[in-house]
Structure 1
Amino acid sequence: MDELEFRRRLVADPQDEEVAKYASQQPELQAQLEDMRDFDKFLSHSLDIDVPDGLAERIIAKQQLLEEEHDKVTHVSWFRRISAPLAVAASMLFAAVIFYYGGLAHPTDTAEHALAHVYYEQNALEKQESVPLQTVNEKLAMLGGKFDTLPGKIVYATFCNFKGQKSLHLVMQSEFGPLTVFVVPADQQSTQDQKDNFSDSRFEGLIAHHEKANTILVANRGAPLERFQTEVNNSLRWL
């Protein structure tokens, strides 16, 4: 087993005994193993929460009410159909549903999940301390990639649960404010989304589909997302 095979098998099964044996030979790999196992436990616990009775019905009823109040607007994300103050509160509720009740019969699409994820972790947008390139790449390596250079000042880097997938959540500070980047391993869902651009009253985003993973960017409205996407993709290399 080489290091690349170790990383691939680590992502696939952190409990693999051969992976653990290989990692025991190098402290750096052992740290990656423990990090991934901790995240695996977090992911399992976050998806193993009982859904309160009637929660799905209440959410659906809320969406139907919004649609009735704004029947002149069709085929638009419900994030756009509420005023700015209500949007934040509603998004926080929706984010909690996504994170803790992922088994509902009406899953959201990638765009709405990305927005909800950003609202749910708004504290990450306020961070200022720089995260070293090595730290970012140690996490990204578990998904099979690396940055040759950082596309900007990274202030937040952690694994996250993105629609049930182990993904990397980054926040980069820019002259247009914080930029959130999700690196999500390519799966069947990556080919099902039909729209690449999305937005609500506060943020807009861009989804770039790739063979290895999708990169999903979310920034303040008016930020040059195409430019940011190009910078991220030019810096990102797959092993």
Structure 2
Amino acid sequence: MDDLEFRRRILADPNDNSPDLSAARNESIVNRKLYDELLQLDAQLEKAMKVDVPDDLADRILFHQSGQPNEKPKSNRFHMAIAASVALAVGIMIGQFNHFTLPSAQAASIGQIALQHIHTEAPFVNTVDESVSLQQVNAKLLPFGPSLSDLPGHVTYVNHCGFGDKNALHMVMDTPQGRVTVFIVPEESKTMTAFNDKQMNGIVMPIKNASLIVVGEKGQDVMPIIKSIESDLYWQI
């Protein structure tokens, strides 16, 4: 699949998981970043669309309509048609973008979402080495608040990603303790929590207004890495 065909199909339906599109998605860093950016855009749009509707909105509309004179029925029908069109457009937009949201995000723990994300991304991130600098990492961290004064290993990959119904920092690095995946999620966990599956284990550490997650291979001690990152994080404000 050439680049033009990939872009046409991923923009038309980012949720298309057909084998040829999935393979093309992981063929290059450019393709993967486009896919990640679409996920990020979707999360931002979905958040912007979440507007609370007043409980008494229906009563207020009915009251307003009942108090209007009847000499302009055409004008009233025109306004109602416009309102219906706007409601339909918003419904279509919400339906179009909802396909990015992970259905398990509300029910699953942060650790479970991290494990699911790593398994999904492994075919791509395990084959790249972008030799990411500290400055590049801090540029990606900027939307989340903190910065790092140092890195505890060689960073092979860093980007924003969709994490449940939020955006997060996704970073992969080689350390003296082995390869680890790091997430910084703008959702503060209540306590430090360990989690695992048959292949990996990790720790969620609450930090200022966020959660720091480090995941390694099964049996790998990730505590030194999470402590190192925690001590190197700082906030400008």
TM class by smaller structure: 0.5 to 0.7
Sequence identity percentage: 28
* Corresponding residue number in structure 1 for 2:223: 226
- TM-score, normalization by structure 1: 0.55
Q: For residues 76-132 of structure 1, give each alpha carbon's deviation from its aligned partner in whole angstroms, at most 9, with x where no partner exists.
A: xxxxxxxxxxxxxxxxxxxxxxx8453469621111111000001002133333101
Paired with 1:128 and 1:135, the residues of 2 have a C-alpha distance of 14
* Equivalence map 1:107-126=2 (5 Å): 107-122=107-122, 123-126=124-127
Paired with 1:104 and 1:201, the residues of 2 have a C-alpha distance of 19
Runs of 5+ consecutive residues of structure 2 not aligned to the other structure: 1-36, 48-98
Structure index of larger Rg = 2
The worse-fitting range, judged by mean Cα deviation, of 121-130 and 216-225 is 121-130
* Equivalence map 1:149-160=2 (5 Å): 149-160=150-161
SS for the counterpart of 1:120 is helix
Runs of 5+ consecutive residues of structure 1 not aligned to the other structure: 1-36, 48-98
Paired with 2:126 and 2:105, the residues of 1 have a C-alpha distance of 31
Paired with 1:203 and 1:114, the residues of 2 have a C-alpha distance of 10
- TM-score, normalization by structure 2: 0.55
> Do the aligned partners of residues 106 and 164 (structure 1) sit closer, same or farther apart at CA in structure 2, a change above 3 Å counting?
closer
* Corresponding residue number in structure 1 for 2:140: 139
- Residue pair 1:130, 1:153 contacting (<8 A) in 2 also: yes
2:121 partner letter: E
> Do the aligned partners of residues 104 and 140 (structure 1) sit closer, same or farther apart at CA in structure 2, a change above 3 Å counting?
closer
RMSD: 2.9
* Corresponding residue number in structure 1 for 2:194: 197
Question: How many residues matched?
Answer: 149
Q: For residues 197-220 of structure 1, give each alpha carbon's deviation from its aligned partner in whole angstroms, at most 9, with x where no partner exists.
A: 111111000010123211011101
1:130 partner letter: S
2:117 partner letter: H
- Residue pair 1:139, 1:159 contacting (<8 A) in 2 also: yes
- Residue pair 2:181, 2:216 contacting (<8 A) in 1 also: yes
* Corresponding residue number in structure 1 for 2:92: none
Paired with 2:120 and 2:186, the residues of 1 have a C-alpha distance of 21
Question: Of 205, 208, 211, which residue of structure 2 is paired with 1:211?
Answer: 208
